[in-house]
Amino acid sequence: MYLTWTGGPLSGIAQLPASKSEANRALILQALAGGGTLDNLSDANDTQLMQRLLAIAPNATELSAEDAGTVMRFLTAYLSVTNWRGRLTGTARMQERPIAVLVDALQQAGASISYLTNKGYPPLEIGGFTSTKTTGALTELAVRGDISSQYISALLMVGPYLPGGLRLTLTGHVGSRPYINMTVALMQLFGANCVAEGDMLTVQAGTYSPTNYTIESDWSAASYWYSLVAMGPAGSEIMLPRLRRKSLQGDQAIAEIMTHFGVETSFLPNAVHLKQQPLAPQSEIQTLDFTDCPDLAQTVAVVAAALARPVDMTGLESLRIKETDRIAALQTELAKFGGDLREVAAGRFRAESTDFAVDNQTVATYHDHRMAMAFAPLAMRGPLNIEAPTVVRKSYPQFWKELTKSGFVISEAD
Query: Which residues are catalytically annotated?
Result: 295
Beta strand extents in 130-227 (DSSP E only): 139-144, 165-171, 194-197, 200-204, 213-214
297-306 and 326-335 helices, crossing angle to 10°: 20
Whether residue 310 is preceded by a cis peptide bond, meaning omega within 30 degrees of 0, is no
Taking the C-alpha atoms of residue 345 and residue 347, their distance in angstroms, rounded to an integer, is 6
Query: Taking a C-beta distance cutoff of 8 angstroms, is the pair 241, 270 a contact?
Result: yes
Give CA torsion, residues 180, 27, 119, 89, to 10 deg.
Answer: -150
Number of Cβ within 10 Å of residue 60's Cβ equals 13
Give CA torsion, residues 65, 67, 69, 75, to 10 deg.
Answer: 0
Taking the C-alpha atoms of residue 167 and residue 88, their distance in angstroms, rounded to an integer, is 26
β-pair partners for 274:
238, 265
What are phi and psi for residue 19, nearest 5 degrees? -60, 120
Number of Cβ within 10 Å of residue 390's Cβ equals 12
DSSP for 307-356 reads TT--EEEE--GGGGGSSS-HHHHHHHHHHTTTEEEEEEETTEEEEEESS-
Query: Taking a C-beta distance cutoff of 8 angstroms, is the pair 128, 103 a contact?
Result: no
Helix (H) or strand (E) holding 38: strand 38-39
3-class state of residue 15 by DSSP:
coil
Taking the C-alpha atoms of residue 321 and residue 190, their distance in angstroms, rounded to an integer, is 31
Query: Taking a C-beta distance cutoff of 8 angstroms, is the pair 79, 32 a contact?
Result: no
Burial class (CB in 10 A: 0-12, 13-18, 19+), 197: exposed
Helix (H) or strand (E) holding 114: strand 111-115
